[in-house]
Amino acid sequence: MNEYDSDRILDIANEAGYTPTNNLLETDCYVLNTCHIREKATEKVYDDIGRIKKKFRNQKKPILLVTGCVAQAESDEMIKRSNYIDGVIGPQSYHLLPEIIKKIENKNKINLTEFDTIDKFDKLNTIRNSNSKVSTFLTIQEGCDKFCNFCVVPYTRGPEFSRPIFEILSEAKQLIENGSKEIILLGQNVNAYHYKNYKLSNLIHELNNLKGLERIRFTTSHPKDMTDDLIETYSTCNKLMPSLHLPVQSGSSKILKLMNRKHNINDYLYIIEKLKRKNPLIKFTSDFIIGYPGENQSDFNSTIDLIKKIKFINSYSFIFSSRPGTPASNLKSEQIEILKERLKIFQKESDKIKINYRNHLVNKNSQVLFENKLENQEKYFGRNEYGDPVIVESKTDLTGKILKVKINHFNKNSLFGEIENNNKRDFAA
């Protein structure tokens, strides 16, 4: 979501007469787009501000703007904490960037954290999306009405809002004209998308019919909104990739209830089984919070049992991070040493599953969409059907092509392979 927002901030800055630079010391305006999901991410904001301040110690400072969810959550506190910040702009207000910069140039400090999602997208619709990457993000939904007890999103992004389907299709066509072959639909609860009579399944069908678009993905989904019509698209839409990121957070129904997740483990397993019936090739990734307040050893063991059962090809796991203002902010977890040990055990087990999955790909073919050439190398980077990074050597330009690749080996981060001579498309089974 922040990558999409950052690209759109650049488009708006271009409209205001600013152009991007890779030379930091040339910078007239520095925009730091932020995330507030975990405490560590928040502290990185202030670390980065400190580095910028040090870099410009002996010359005129640039306009420094902090945008995104940290800006929304901390607003006045940020300006109090660092006088170096000129403006604090929430994620629903960055479309006002030209006016904000003008006010700052007149020596005003800016704090703009209103929830006006409609106004933001009305403005963005007037500015062409210039992103020309092979794989691009496209925001279709923002905000959250689920109010999980650990999560700040409802407070930093506001209530659920779905963009009109005609606006999304218009922007998708722009991206395809720019050269995009894959579009990844974004939302805090992307499968909660609902505009008039249109749901996410309808949008996927519309995108599936667009000429020039080769692949469709969406993230991040909530199990509560994984409806039958959406599940059906995994058998009816050939451009929808057979992978799904479906955060579960814990393998214990007791902990899910404490989290206010609105689903239990049986619900989750039932969804997985329905998806497998519609597309036997589908693979899953998920998010996990280790050590949520109330988690005991038995609850943790249930989480380990779940990842062994489903065999997630990628698992994103973190120790519970208390976020100010959430219902869980004052709850107590186990001692940090215990939680670190649990995280270590979890990640060791999830790595075993991932290695076994990748071993299964060796000497088999994957369809890879190549996104770019690696700098100063005759190697190209792409992703297979399941989003796994794949690297191959090639003297010819592979950018934007979907080719059959035989996987030879892998490391912790990537798969490595070679282009097959007979490039007939098929999925790795």
Residue range 167-175: mean pLDDT, rounded? 97
Structural domain spans, the chain = 2-114, 119-359, 365-419
Q: Looking at 25-39, 230-244, 245-259, which range is the least confident one? A: 25-39
Whether pLDDT at 189 is above 70: yes
CATH number for domain 365-419, candidates 3.20.20.150, 2.40.50.140, 3.40.225.10, 2.70.98.10 = 2.40.50.140
Segment 11-22, tens digit of pLDDT: 888 888 899 998
What is the tens place of the pLDDT at every residue in 238-257?
999 999 999 999 999 999 99
Q: What's the CATH fold of domain 119-359?
A: pyruvate-formate lyase- activating enzyme (3.80.30)
**In this predicted structure, what is the pLDDT of residue 424?**
53
CATH of domain 2-114: 3.40.50.12160
pTM for the predicted model, two decimal places: 0.85
pLDDT the model gives residue 69: 81
What is the reported pLDDT for 116?
Answer: 65
Per-residue confidence (pLDDT) for residue 163, from 0 to 100: 95
Residue 275 has pLDDT above 50, yes or no: yes
SS (H, E, C) the chain: CHHHHHHHHHHHHHHCCCCCCCCHHHCCEEEEEECCCCHHHHHHHHHHHHHHHHHCCCCCCCEEEEEEHHHHHHHHHHHHHCCCCCEEECCCCHHHHHHHHHHHHCCCCEEECCCCHHHHHHHHCCCCCCCCCCEEEEECEECCCCCCCCCCHHHHCCCCEECCHHHHHHHHHHHHHHCCCEEEEECCCHHHCEECCEEHHHHHHHHHCCCCCCEEEEECCCHHHCCHHHHHHHHHCCCECCEEECCCECCCHHHHHHHCCCCCHHHHHHHHHHHHHHCCCCEEEEEEEECCCCCCHHHHHHHHHHHHHHCCCEEEEEECCCCCCCCCCCCCCCCHHHHHHHHHHHHHHHHHHHHHHHHHHCCCEEEEEEEEECCCCCEEEEECCCCCEEEEECCCCCCCCEEEEEEEEECCCCEEEEECCCCCCCCCC
pLDDT class of 429 with cuts at 50, 70, 90: very low
> What would the mean pLDDT of 284-288 be, rounded to a whole number?
98
Query: Looking at per-residue confidence, does 83 or 137 come out higher?
Result: 137
Give the pLDDT band (50/70/90) at residue 186: very high
Return the minimum-mean-pLDDT range out of 77-86, 259-268, 392-401: 77-86
The pLDDT tens digits for 63-105 are 999 998 888 877 777 878 888 888 888 888 888 888 888 888 8
Asked whether residue 428 carries a pLDDT value surpassing 50, the answer given is: no
What percent of the chain shows pLDDT beyond 90? Answer: 66
pLDDT at 102: 84
Judged against a pLDDT cut of 80, whether residue 182 lies above it is answered with yes
